[in-house]
Amino acid sequence: MRFLVLTPILLSFCVAVASADTWLQFRGPNGAGRMPSAARLPEEIGPEKNVLWKTPLPPGHSSPVVTDDRIFVSGVRDGQLVTIGLDRQTGKQLWERVAPHDALEKIHAIGSHAQSSPASDGEIVVSFFGSAGLFAYDKDGTPLWHKPLGPFSNTFGAGSSPILYGDYVILNQDHDIDSALMIFNKTNGELVRRINREDFPRSYSTPIIWEQDGKPQIVVSGTLRIVGYDLETGEEIWTVRELARISNTTPVIGSDGVLYLAVWSPGADSENRIQAEPFDELIDTLDKNKNGTLELVEIPEGALQRRFGQIDRNKSGEITRQEYEFMRNVFHSAENAIAAIRPGGTGDITDTHVLWKERKTLPYVPSPLFHDGHVYTVKKGGIFTSRESATGQVVKTGRLPATGAYYSSPVYGDGKFYLLNQHGRLSVMTAEPQWKKLSTADFGEDTYATPALVDGKIYLRTAGQLYCFGLE
């Protein structure tokens, strides 16, 4: 664990352009997971508790986004990729548009072809469906433009969500090859800038905006490091190394101006690391057909076989020396961590701007949450942890009432945390370092989407429903 003495810094940080009662992207304003207003929220919700309305939805993992008068979600209906617009007050479906595609790409066994959340500025909505591309509509569902993308080399599909900032649509796509951070004109979909990220294989983190010295930076967490890019030039301004080999989580900026990230992937804990022998030591014993590459049938059961599709970056059916040694370096360099990064750095700031770093009780998919001088995370098994944001010291860690796997990220509003596990069990906890249970609920359906908290309402998506909860 490292500590640096930090003099107080007054820093304004940027949030997505939004009024006080909207939730325009994945996890709301700048991905922070916090209700913008101080409106009251119910302490108890459930399938029959404080329900204002509910609307059936087709399957999908995307989280709802909420504008002044609309709600947008994506889904998969009868094999078609759809964007849906609903009335915010009643939940009534107003329109549904199909995103044309040639074929559905491969996804994770528990994934969805509607994994990425839409983004909106209140006037347009942008949906992303992996290799089918980006689709933009006005708020009434009129098609505006379509940007084909891919095909992406990734057996788990695409997961990162687009964001809207000013005149731009920003989308990061880290896949096994051809990874890139892309900036599009939101009016016509034209590509403004493509930033090469070829050193970053598959990850699923959604970008955030971090304003420093009056200039917005695009912050993207990926394989082994996190990077801040200049929005206008695409230049890499700073980086922090020594991170996980896959980044599923989105970082968050605290009210103290510090950036917090938590990244974990299998095989990088100190007691359970993936060990990969040099290519030359394997090829002599495993290369049965002596063609100089490794094929799936030549590899015995184990970590290498299970990750064949990831190491074979171009999906040729063979692992070359270059592909193997690239991923071997990733396996050996990966470090699971939760860390705090102070602003103002340039270049490699791993040793100068990391305030603290810890390696225990880390989330795999749910993003961290900052509240009142503390950072909160939830990991598999329902292990919920609060840490002091200044030091990283754990205040409390323990099991939530709902155990199991977590894919939905925690959200905050009105002094409460709302946390959903994979199988639709909800835990409502007090928003304090020594958190306590307030209530629980069981929705009886799988839940992967992150709830939206807007102006005293909770918009919660399950496998088959979109609920709106509130006190009135």
Name the pLDDT band for 20 (thresholds 50, 70, 90).
Answer: low
Strands (E), 100-198: 119-120, 124-128, 134-138, 143-147, 163-165, 168-173, 180-185, 191-196
pLDDT at 378 over 90: yes
- Which neighbouring-strand residues pair with 397? 385
Q: What number is the average pLDDT over the span 132-156? A: 96
DSSP character string of 43-108: S--BTTBSEEEEEE--S--PPPEE-SSEEEEEEEETTEEEEEEEETTT--EEEEEEE--SSPPP--
Phi, psi of 328 (to 5 degrees): -60, -40
- Whole-number pLDDT of residue 376: 98
- Mapped onto helix, strand or coil, the DSSP state of residue 377 is strand
- Whole-number pLDDT of residue 247: 97
Please report the domains of the chain, with CATH numbers, ordered by start residue: 29-265+334-470 (2.130.10.10), 274-331 (1.10.238.10)
Rounded CA separation 418/61 (Å):
18
- Whole-number pLDDT of residue 15: 38
Strands (E), 400-448: 411-413, 416-420, 425-430, 437-442
Burial class (CB in 10 A: 0-12, 13-18, 19+), 305: middle
* Six token digits for residue 350: 């791993």
Name the pLDDT band for 303 (thresholds 50, 70, 90).
Answer: confident
* Six token digits for residue 114: 């509607």
Burial class (CB in 10 A: 0-12, 13-18, 19+), 300: exposed
Rounded CA separation 454/263 (Å):
27
- Which neighbouring-strand residues pair with 87? 70
- Which neighbouring-strand residues pair with 253? 259
Rounded CA separation 72/423 (Å):
23
The percentage of the chain sitting over the pLDDT mark of 90, rounded to a whole number, equals 91
- Whole-number pLDDT of residue 1: 36
State the chain's maximal CA–CA distance in angstroms. 71
Q: Tens digits of per-residue pLDDT, 220-278?
A: 999 999 999 999 999 999 999 999 999 999 999 999 999 999 999 998 988 888 888 99
Closest listed residue to residue 23, CA positions, set 467, 461, 451, 471: 451
pLDDT at 287 over 50: yes
Query: Reading across the β-sheet that carries 416-420, which strands appear in turn?
Result: 411-413, 416-420, 425-430, 437-442
Name the pLDDT band for 423 (thresholds 50, 70, 90).
Answer: very high
- Mapped onto helix, strand or coil, the DSSP state of residue 297 is helix
Rounded CA separation 420/441 (Å):
9
Rounded CA separation 57/76 (Å):
9
pLDDT at 45 over 80: yes
User: Any idea which of 5-9, 73-77, 328-332 has the lowest mean pLDDT?
Assistant: 5-9
Closest listed residue to residue 170, CA positions, set 114, 230, 106, 111: 230
Phi, psi of 325 (to 5 degrees): -70, -30
Contact, 209 vs 165, CB < 8 A?
yes
Rounded CA separation 216/271 (Å):
39
Query: Reading across the β-sheet that carries 347-348, which strands appear in turn?
Result: 208-212, 215-221, 226-230, 236-240, 347-348
Rounded CA separation 353/335 (Å):
17
Q: What number is the average pLDDT over the span 415-438? A: 98
| Beta strand 134-138 pairing with 143-147 | antiparallel
**Could you identify the residue written with the tokens 């609060």?**
386
pLDDT at 18 over 80: no
Name the pLDDT band for 103 (thresholds 50, 70, 90).
Answer: confident
- Whole-number pLDDT of residue 67: 98
Average pLDDT, whole number, for the chain?
Answer: 94
Is residue 151 reached through a cis peptide bond, with omega within 30 degrees of 0 on the bond before it? yes
pLDDT at 6 over 60: no
Q: Tens digits of per-residue pLDDT, 162-206?
A: 999 999 999 999 999 999 999 999 999 999 999 999 999 999 999
Q: What stretches of 206-258 show up as alpha helix (H) in DSSP? A: none
Cβ density class 179-206: b for 16+ within 10 Å, e for less: bbbbbbebeebeeebebebeebbbbbbb
